[in-house]
Amino acid sequence: MSALRRSFHSLAIPNYRRYFQGQVVSISGNWMQTVAEMWLVLRLTGSGVALGVATALQFTPMLLAGAYGGVLADRWPKRRLLMVTQTLMAVPALTLWALTTAGSVRLWMVYALVLVRGTVLAVDNPARQSFVSELVGPARVVNAVSLNSVIIHTGRIAGPALAGAVIAAFGVGPCFALNGLSFFVMIAALRGMDPSQLQAAPARVRARGQLRAALRTVRETPALRIPLLLMAVVGTLSFNFVVLLPLLARFTFHGGASTYAVLTAAMGVGAVVGALWNGARGTATPAIVTGSAFAFGAALLAAAAAPDLPVEIAALALVGAASVTFAASVNASLQLAVAPELRGRVMALYSVVYIGSSPLGGPLTGWLSAVGGPRAGLVLGAVAALAAGVIGLAAFARAGQPISRPALARR
């Protein structure tokens, strides 16, 4: 019981509690939209490659401009910046709802609106990642990052479950409308915060070379360089579930939108359990980073070999637990190791390698799944995660941070 209480102790901070509540609604809506978008693309084309293209368009702006989004996050008050980005994120959702409801939606329209949403995300995500430390401070950052993972994966459960029911009853259009409205809940949460309680780093004035300075710091600091390298490998090749899960649902298990929702929810349940365990620990060590990479790879192999839908559901729950432990540990270790004035830019680099790598990995996974079946895409992710574990062990040892050390270096 005490461990469970430790998992939630960041919620004692009123600003973070408001943020948590707003994110639960907003991210659930975002998952509804993701499910509806992917199902709409699949309905329009029946193509795994088309799903990969949609994923690439959503995340290409993060790959190309996400680092500059971090520069903005270091220059502007993050709370104010998030209110702007959340407002802009509602626009493509409501536009897609209008087009779908009118019956005039075409594939190129979906692609265009996905690209617009991804462009706003390139600024929104670095600001959200680095805002967590301002809400709770360094002592609770591991717990807060893990609770953010709970939010994301609770949304992964609630959003697809609701999306499956809404799509089955009313079609994909209402999913987009509900997501558009959910952003205004997050805006209300941001407006309700007490700015005087934020532990904000001093805003950086505009100057030349700010992104280069962050890259140089990462290159020279093993506690930043190694986790980012591992996330680049795993993010590119192992986190392409937006492409894989609808293909598994339709072509491997011959199901529909409800099967897709069940697979996504199963992964979300496992992720919530993993995130709560991670939050109760309160540490981010090389052992956890590398160990969770190995566990992620093993779980993906189990999912690739699952003979039927019940076994696949169980395997995806393990995938969810291992994947969120890996991602949250990398995230927290970076926030603990980076100086506050660089946090926006370093967390933007995290977003680039975690989210922005999807334009590279998404089409590759889609193509491989089209040629060899969705199970081949899972095997690719497993090999990448296992390789990351091996690379991490060697790199941490070479940097003088063997996995037996109690924690990554802090500043």
Answer yes or no: is pLDDT of 1 > 70.
no
Residue of higher predicted confidence among 4 and 123:
123
Question: Residue 97's domain spans which residues?
Answer: 2-192+210-398
Max avg pLDDT among 181-190, 197-206, 338-347: 181-190
- Both tokens of 411, joined, read 């500043």
Q: What is the count of structural domains for the chain?
A: 1
Residue of higher predicted confidence among 286 and 149:
286
CATH number at residue 272: 1.20.1250.20
Max avg pLDDT among 20-34, 91-105, 133-147, 271-285: 91-105
**Mean pLDDT, residues 301-309:** 95
**Mean pLDDT, residues 285-307:** 94
Q: 20-29, 227-236, 339-348, 398-407: which has the minimum mean pLDDT?
A: 398-407
Q: Is 1 helix (H, G, I), strand (E, B) or coil?
A: coil
Answer yes or no: is pLDDT of 114 > 50.
yes
**Mean pLDDT, residues 25-42:** 86
Grade residue 372 by pLDDT with cuts at 50, 70 and 90.
very high
Share of the chain above pLDDT 70, in %: 91
**Mean pLDDT, residues 95-116:** 92
In a domain, 406, yes or no: no
Measured between alpha carbons, how far is 42 from 182 in angstroms, rounded to an integer?
25
In a domain, 346, yes or no: yes
Closest CA to 184 of 93, 112, 95: 93
Measured between alpha carbons, how far is 203 from 110 in angstroms, rounded to an integer?
37
In a domain, 116, yes or no: yes
In a domain, 263, yes or no: yes
Share of the chain above pLDDT 90, in %: 36
Mean pLDDT of the chain: 85
In a domain, 199, yes or no: no
Answer yes or no: is pLDDT of 3 > 60.
no
**Mean pLDDT, residues 125-151:** 82
Answer yes or no: is pLDDT of 384 > 90.
yes
In a domain, 259, yes or no: yes
Residue pointed to by tokens 């915060």? 193
In a domain, 203, yes or no: no
pLDDT of residue 317: 94
In a domain, 102, yes or no: yes
Measured between alpha carbons, how far is 24 from 121 in angstroms, rounded to an integer?
17
Measured between alpha carbons, how far is 253 from 265 in angstroms, rounded to an integer?
16
Conformation bin of residue 199: beta by default, left when phi > 0, alpha when psi is -120 to 50: beta
